[in-house]
Amino acid sequence: MTDPTPFASMDDVLGTAEGWLTEGRKVALATVVKTWGSSPRPVGSRLVIDGDGAMVGSVSGGCIEGAVIKEAFEIMDGGAPRLMEFGVSDEQAWDVGLACGGNVQVWVERMEA
Amino acid sequence: MRGDIFSKLQTARRGKTPVTLVDGLDGKIQALVFADRIEGDIPEPVVKEARERLRDNKSGVAEIGGGRWFFDCHNPPLRLIIIGAVHISQTLVPMAAIAGYEVIVVDPRASFATAERFPNVTLIDDWPDEAMEALKPDNRTAVVTLTHDPKLDDPALEIALKSDAFYITCLGSRRTHAKRVERLKAMGFDEATISRIYAPAGLDIGAVSPAEIALSVLAELTAVLHAKPIVAAAA
């Protein structure tokens, strides 16, 4: 018997983070901590990003990942962790585009080896 | 996330030990709260909240003692136990695995339960009652019997009905199920208990092929999962 559930591995964001850290990559983790309204991904959804912009997982339906990644680069370079908020009430977030009309808070932090 | 906390979190996840990762949203404090111990220094009310949320499998933010905290619950994956290494199982296994379930297939018949037919899944070739006793279904476990054969399905069902399994279904027509109900009554199960079985299996989406039937079962299982709070297994 090999890995019992290889299909699930695509969802193992933390496992990916662990692997990347072992390879010596810079890694940031974004986690959905709070949602209001019709946000696409539930609390606890995760996105992991490395220094080259590789990413696994998601914190939305693809609407805010770009903005999160931009922030993640700063944070993985030694920036303090940050709580990012996106929603229709927020001008900047509207630009980023949570088209579903929901609000979401995302905690972005550096992963230490 | 601190390296030592992350490493301990991963160890717990691999060992299927329920744990809540607690983040102070000021970025200063991180801790792990297990059922029986704590890694890190956090106030007692925060520990209490972490344990309650772990039991309810409810991640989220709470304000406690003037601070904002994120509670990230890591319970072991939901399990799906399939009795019968049949054609439908061959499609249900990968679908359920993609949906995040830890899938276990039980079938004592050597010609069915082969690694060739079921690559990459935990295959148990014990009799269903023995296998089920060892697997101990809990309230984060679904049980699906697919053999059509009472001598394989019934012993598994007997243990499933005595457990807290959140979803139980059995393949078979209404007539087959009526006979099953009679056998279960003869075994001493009351009607309320027997009515925990979803029959006929799956949502009525007109499923015909094995993959479509698997899809309808997985859809029903998902509906049942989200219609009520699913609580964490006892540690």
A109, A110, B1, B7: CA torsion to nearest 10 = 140
Put simply, whether B97 touches A (Cβ < 8 Å) is yes
Residue A29 covered by a domain: yes
What residue type is B31 in one-letter code? A
Predicted confidence band of residue B56 (pLDDT cuts 50, 70, 90): confident
Put simply, whether B59 touches A (Cβ < 8 Å) is yes
Judge if ipTM > 0.85.
no
Mutate to test the interface with A, among B63, B72, B103, B116 (most CBs of A within 10 A): B72
The residues, ordered by sequence, that sit 6+ positions from B94 with a Cβ below 8 Å of its Cβ are A7
B60, B65, B66, B69: CA torsion to nearest 10 = -20
Residue A5 covered by a domain: no
pLDDT tens by residue, B81-137: 999 999 999 999 999 999 989 999 999 998 898 988 998 899 999 999 999 999 999
| Nearest chain A residue to B71, by CA | A33
* A7: DSSP letter: G
Residues B195-223: what's their mean pLDDT? 94
Query: Residue A92 has which token pair?
Result: 């900047």
Residue A100 covered by a domain: yes
pLDDT value, residue B196: 95
pLDDT tens by residue, B9-48: 999 999 889 999 999 999 889 999 999 999 999 999 999 9
Number of folded domains in chain A? Answer: 1
A81: distance to nearest CA of chain B, Å?
Answer: 6
Residue A95 covered by a domain: yes
Q: Which of A57, A77, A44, A45 is nearest to A17 (CA)?
A: A57
Beta bridge partners of B81: B104, B143
Averaged pLDDT score across all residues of chain B: 92
Nearest to B10 among A1, A2, A14 (CB): A14
pLDDT at residue B233 tops 50: no
**High-pLDDT (> 90) share of chain B, %:** 81
Asked if residue B18 lies in contact with residue B75, where contact means CB atoms within 8 angstroms, the answer is yes
| Nearest chain A residue to B102, by CA | A5
CA–CA gap between residue B116 and residue A24 (Å, rounded) = 38
Count other Cβ atoms within 10 Å, centred on residue B150: 15
Residues B68-78: what's their mean pLDDT? 94
Query: Residue A32 has which token pair?
Result: 């959905």
Residue A2 covered by a domain: no
Query: Can you give the length of chain A in residues?
Result: 113
pLDDT tens by residue, B147-203: 989 999 999 999 999 999 999 999 988 999 999 999 999 999 999 999 999 999 999
pLDDT value, residue B120: 82
Structural domain boundaries, residue A61 = 10-110
pLDDT value, residue A24: 96
A19: distance to nearest CA of chain B, Å?
Answer: 11
pLDDT per residue, tens digit, chain A (113 aa), is: 334 444 444 568 999 999 999 999 999 999 999 998 777 788 999 999 999 999 999 998 777 888 999 999 999 999 999 999 987 555 554 555 556 667 899 999 999 98
CATH architecture type of domain B79-227: 3-Layer(aba) Sandwich (3.40)
